[in-house]
Structure 1
Amino acid sequence: MGNASSMLTQYDIDEVQEHSGYLFSQQEIVALYKRFCQLDRNAKGFISADEFLSIPEFSLNPLSQRLQRMLDGLNFKDFVAFLSSFSQKASPQQKMELIFRVYDVDSKGRVNLKDLLEVLRDLTGSFMSEEQREQVLNHMLEEAGYMRDASLVFDDFVKILGKSGMKMEVEVPID
């Protein structure tokens, strides 16, 4: 599985399924491998952030810059593991863990008001003023019983954002 142009063996498929928590079928793993090989233009065995940006849905995503740091240099196994958070079979906990990683800019396991503001800024662009963003986040934190200077660990983050009913799913087209 080291060379992206090599064939995927049954052993590779089983290994990738195990690594991604069995959230994709064998057919889906094969389809994802084909897509991975298309993205890995230089057949290096991993996908760069620039190659990810060649995916229109990814490049148009307002959080693409944040996602890039998580995706740069993924090999196939890690590519599938990352995508497993978007599987219909993924638990709400798995989906929230990915969202938390997007918000946790410095990867220290905590999200603060600055991190929340940065993501909200990415999502809203010029549609909201900085003052409006701060008002929304202050209100959201207060409603959940947190102060403006709170540093949220994962459980706090879930308490605040977990009730939003976010839908994060991607369908893997199988040939």
Structure 2
Amino acid sequence: MGNTSSMLTQYDIEEVQVHCNHTFSQQEIVSLYQRFCQLDRSNGGFISADEFLSVPEFAVNPLSQRLLRMLYGLNFKEFVAFLSAFSPRASLHQKIEFIFKVYDSDSNGKVTFNDMLDVLRDLTGHFISEQEREQVLTDVLEEAGYTKDSLILLADFVKVLGNSDLKLEVEVPVD
């Protein structure tokens, strides 16, 4: 499975299904593998930053640079696990964990005010001022019971978002 020029075996498909908690059907995994192979133009078994940025929807995403840090060097099995948060069959906890990882850019298990401010900056660009961004974030944190000095953990994300109806889904076309 490391070399994208090889075909997926039934064992490979089942192994990927287990690795991604059965969030994708076998047909969806085959479709994702075909797409992975199309993107892996160098046939290196992983998709480079340039190859990811060749996908227009990814390139224009304001969080693309953050996502690239999460995607860099992933093989096919890890790629599917990454995408599993976008499956309609993914649990709310899996979706929240993905969102937490987007904010936790240094992967230390903690999200700071500045981490959240960086994401907000990526999302808003020049549409609002830095002072407005800081005020909005301060207000949101206070409403959730946190301060600018709070270190937010995954459990905090779960507590705040655990009752939400997150629609973090992408349809995988199946041939």
Bucket of the pairwise TM-score, normalised by the shorter protein: over 0.9
2:84 is paired with a residue whose SS is helix
TM-score (norm 1): 0.96
The answer for unaligned runs of 5 or more in structure 1 is none
The answer for unaligned runs of 5 or more in structure 2 is none
1:58 is paired with a residue whose SS is helix
Paired residue for 1:146? 146
**Structure 1 letter corresponding to 2:87:** S
| Residue 126 of structure 2 is aligned to residue 105 of structure 1 | no
1:97 is paired with a residue whose SS is helix
Paired residue for 2:83? 83
Paired residue for 1:123? 123
**Structure 2 letter corresponding to 1:13:** I
Distance in 2 separating the partners of 1:74 and 1:53: 15
**Structure 1 letter corresponding to 2:30:** V
Instruction: Choose between structure 1 and 2: higher strand proportion.
Output: 1
Distance in 2 separating the partners of 1:16 and 1:105: 26
The Cα of 1:121 is off from its aligned counterpart by 0.3
Distance in 2 separating the partners of 1:40 and 1:130: 38
Distance in 2 separating the partners of 1:151 and 1:168: 25
TM-score (norm 2): 0.96
Provide the aligned length of Structure 1 versus Structure 2: 175
Paired residue for 1:56? 56
2:126 is paired with a residue whose SS is helix
Paired residue for 2:167? 167
The answer to whether the 8 Å contact 2:45/2:75 transfers is yes
**Structure 2 letter corresponding to 1:21:** N
Paired residue for 2:2? 2
**Structure 2 letter corresponding to 1:159:** K
Distance in 1 separating the partners of 2:147 and 2:126: 26
Deviates more, 1:155-164 or 1:165-174: 155-164
Distance in 1 separating the partners of 2:173 and 2:137: 38
The Cα of 1:2 is off from its aligned counterpart by 2.2
**Structure 2 letter corresponding to 1:100:** F
CA, structure 1 residues 129+142, in 2 after alignment: closer, same or farther (shift >3 Å)?
A: same
**Structure 2 letter corresponding to 1:55:** V
State, as a whole percentage, how many aligned pairs show the same letter.
Answer: 69
Distance in 1 separating the partners of 2:29 and 2:40: 16
Deviates more, 1:153-162 or 1:29-38: 153-162
